[in-house]
Amino acid sequence: MSEEKIVSIEDRIPKLKQARKKKANRRLIFYLSIFFILIAVIVYLQSPLSHVRSFDVTGNSFLTDEEVLNLAGMAAGTNIWTIDREAISSSVLESPIIEEVEVDRQLPWTVQIKLTEHERVGYKEEENHFYPVLGNGTVLTEMEQNTYNGDAPLLVGFSDQEMFKQMTAQLQALPESILGIISEIHWQPSDGDNHSIMLYMNDGYMVSGTIREFAEKMQVYPSIVSQLEPGSEGIIHIGVGAYFEAFGSAEETADSENEADAEEDSTQDE
């Protein structure tokens, strides 16, 4: 039977003291680390290291970076942690050009402003000058052009502002593939309908329609064109129903009516 090894209390005391000392040292290092981190944070917040030094503005094509920053009320030197992102967004959205805005911090000293502008859906002509038109009906008078480059429809005759805004809203909802082939849109109100419009397309066809639900009704246009004979000319109607009317058909109908009237007059004379 082996003898049990007995460790006296005197032998254990140095080891206990050493363990307690290590534990105390770790605790001290932990508290000192927190203290110095807090000091570093305070120094950072109070020093130019936390000031905004640069801005990253994206998504703007109609407004310059400087104009966006003026709207936002932002300037270099502002503490990056004190910026009010909601207030900046509200200020930028006061511009009729801006549809959405997102403001983010990019540490250590950059503020990012991401913009979504209203889509340009056409041009308006005034006194031989052309101005871009946005989907919310805003006319960018400060972006005057002397020539019409044809990259968006020309809106003609829209003297009624309400009809103009309804038309631009419909164009904004229209797929780009269809919007891109519209050359001109003429407002042709009548006594019974203020929403009548006539379109001139880049592929040579004309489209008779209405502002009401235009974006939805116009989506049948590619399907109708694909069923037409190459070289055919006429008007595509997308009002109550969708159908194609060749240019000659209306004239033929009128000629037939004239011939019928002439024959009737001849019979009465006899």
Q: Where in the chain is the domain with CATH 3.10.20.310?
A: 49-117
pLDDT in tens, 145-204: 999 988 899 999 999 999 999 999 999 999 999 999 999 999 999 888 899 999 999 999
Alpha helices in the chain (DSSP H): 9-46, 65-72, 85-92, 161-172, 176-179, 214-217, 221-226, 247-269
Q: Which two three-digit tokens encode residue 138?
A: 């805003």
Correct CATH for 49-117 of 3.20.20.70, 3.30.830.10, 3.20.20.80, 3.10.20.310 = 3.10.20.310
Under 8 Å between Cβ of 183 and 156: no
Residue type at 59?
G
Per CATH, which fold does 120-249 belong to?
Answer: Rossmann fold (3.40.50)
CATH 3.40.50.10960 spans which residues of the chain? Answer: 120-249
Query: What are the φ/ψ torsions at residue 131 (nearest 5 degrees)?
Result: -130, 135
Cβ(134)–Cβ(97) below 8 Å: yes
Output the pTM of the full model.
0.70
**Largest distance between two CA atoms of the chain:** 153
At residue 11, does pLDDT exceed 70? no
